[in-house]
Structure 1
């Protein structure tokens, strides 16, 4: 399985992208990673599972993440995130013409793919939202929220520690160590990256009834980083379009957790059904 890399530019910032494809392609998945990490962290499990059932996978590192340019943990604005996603989707369509296209977003990526579907007219075939960042699972210190909101107007690019506990990503100690020692993972966040994403999460929950794309929602009930109850609420607001699969006790990165085999089987089964 060979990843073919490419570089493009968005908002004057270099963007690292790539794709993997099986010999016979039945569909294509655009994969959107979570905050603080990068697309390379999906090469050992999620991407092989998708390729195995005939899907090409298009990946990219978002602004200020992984091998893409930009200040770590900062982006131009929220709409720039959606516009970049649209550019990647269009590139995937041109590379793999006349094939069903799916979006796969984890955490912040889940926030983006759901908001994209709600805000843009698109012919996306389906969406997989893994532990989607719709509502935080912890309450940041009040002083940090007040300072951050002030900085959003006066210094939106200033970065501070995100404050996420890496131990919350997985119940497997080796996976936590891999996360902590990955040189491309960072813990920086600017007001421009944090508050608009939080607002967009609540907006998505409140507007979920407008969703017109079949969507698989997966979340672990032990996720201390992103509240699975926000995902439940999204599902309740769009019961006809969403399928909700909760994993008892699962942590934030289900594809790196104890239940990863069950999670990947669930994703493969749902994608087969969509085809």
Structure 2
């Protein structure tokens, strides 16, 4: 699999991205990673799953993540996150014109792709949201929430530990160990990154009925990081355009968990229906 790398500037910050393509291109996917990680973690499994289905994949590292610039765990604003995603969609369309276009987002990426579709007119063929960050599965300490909201006004770039337990990403110990050993994975988060994401998650649930793009929601019922009931509520508010697939005992990163093969079969089957 040949990877084509590229660099660009968004909101004055250097952004790293790349793309891969199958021999015959039936469509393309713009992939958006989760918080604290990076797009490179999708190269060994998720991206090959898409190329096996005939889809080119464009991926990138968000502000403050992976090989992109910016303070770790901080972004200029939620609007900047939306603008960057729009820029990546535009670039993917220029690289692979006149083919069906999909968005795939995991966790924070799921929050972004759902909000993008709800807030913008587009010609997207479909959306896949994996364990989308719509609502946390745990309650952060009250002191941290109070301090964070105060800092959002006076020091929005201040970063603190996110409090996410890496053991929640997978029930497979080896996958957790790889996550912990990855030098590009971090647990820092700023008020400007965390609170707008939380608010956008609840907003997306409340406005889910306005979505008019076929959407696949996948979530594990044992996810200790993001509440699968948020995905279920999103689906309940728009059963006509969303498909919900819950994986019993699945942890946060379904693509790195014991149900991975079943998850990929569900995604590929749904993609065939859309194509």
Structure 2, unaligned runs of 5 or more: none
Q: Distance in 2 between matches of 1:59 and 1:225?
A: 23
Q: Distance in 1 between matches of 2:209 and 2:19?
A: 33
Which residue in the other structure is 2:108 paired with? 108
TM-score if structure 1 supplies the norm length?
1.00
Which residue in the other structure is 1:43 paired with? 43
Which residue in the other structure is 2:248 paired with? 248
2:98 corresponds to 1:98: yes
Q: Distance in 2 between matches of 1:239 and 1:265?
A: 21
2:225 corresponds to 1:225: yes
2:17 corresponds to 1:8: no
After TM superposition, list the pairs within 5 Å mapping 1:126-275 onto structure 2.
126-275=126-275
Aligned CA RMSD, in angstroms, stands at 0.3
C-alpha displacement of 1:265: 0.9
Q: Distance in 1 between matches of 2:234 and 2:79?
A: 21
What per-residue deviation string (whole Å, max 9, x for no partner) do you get for residues 168-205 of structure 1?
A: 00000000000000000000000000000000000000
Structure 1, unaligned runs of 5 or more: none
Q: How many equivalent pairs are there?
A: 275
C-alpha displacement of 1:269: 0.7
C-alpha displacement of 1:2: 1.2
Q: Distance in 2 between matches of 1:229 and 1:52?
A: 31
Runs of 4+ deviating beyond 6 Å: none
C-alpha displacement of 1:109: 0.2
